[in-house]
Amino acid sequence: MAEPRKVSFKINGAVREGTTEPRKLLVDFIRDDLGLTGTHIGCEHGICGACTILFNGEAARSCLMLAVQADGAEITTVEGLAAPDGTLHPLQQAFWEHHALQCGFCTPGMLMAACDLLRVNPSPTEEEIRTGLSAVLCRCTGYQGIVDAVKAAADRMRSSN
C-alpha cells in the first residue's frame, strides 16, 4: 500500500487537513473523513453528477478526483451554500419554492452545478439552464421544477445585486 499523504485545503471557508491514501477519491474524503455527507455518491464514474462540488470556483465531479489533488484548493460543497445564520442561498430557496426536488438525491449536485451556471451566465434562458445542468441526472422530477427554480433564483440574484 502506498504511504499515506497529508492533504490540506479550504472547504466551505475553513481550512481542513487530514491524511489520506493516495488512491482515495475526493468525494470519499469529503464524506468519510470530513463528515460532509451532503455531497452524494451515485455512479462513482463521472456520469450522474450527484457528487458535483465547486473546486476553485468551478463545478467539478468529486468522484473523478483524488483527495490528494485537492491539496491547496478551495472547495465549496452544498453545506457551504447557506449563510452562517442559516439563511438559504437563493438557489436553495427557489428549489424549495418551485418543488425542484422529490427524493433529493440529485439536489446537492444540481445546486452546485446551478451555482456554476449562474456564475458564468447570470441571466440564462430556459434552454441554457437545461444545457447547463445536463451533466446532473435527476430520476424524479422531470426537470421542469428545477429549471423554474434556477430561473427564479437567477432573477432574484440579479435584482439583489
**Closer to ligand FES by Cβ: residue 129 or 138:** 138
Grid cell digits, residue 14: 475553513
The one segment of 5-13, 47-55, 68-76, 82-90 that binds ligand FES by CB under 6 A: 47-55
Which is nearer to ligand FES, 43 or 88 (by Cβ)? 43
State yes or no: residue 154 binds ligand FES (CB under 6 A): no
Cα gap 121→125, rounded to integer Å: 9
Residue 142 makes contact with ligand FES by CB under 6 A? no
Among 72, 87, 103, 158, binds ligand FES (CB under 6 A): 103
42 touching ligand FES, by CB under 6 A: yes
Check residue 69 for interaction with ligand FES (CB under 6 A): no
Beta strands in the chain (DSSP E): 5-11, 14-20, 52-55, 58-61, 74-76
For the record, the C-alpha cell of 18 comes out as 487530514
Residue 100, C-beta contacts closer than 8 angstroms, at least 6 positions apart? 94, 107, 110, 141, 145, 146, 148, 149
Shorter beta-carbon distance to ligand FES: residue 4 or 46: 46
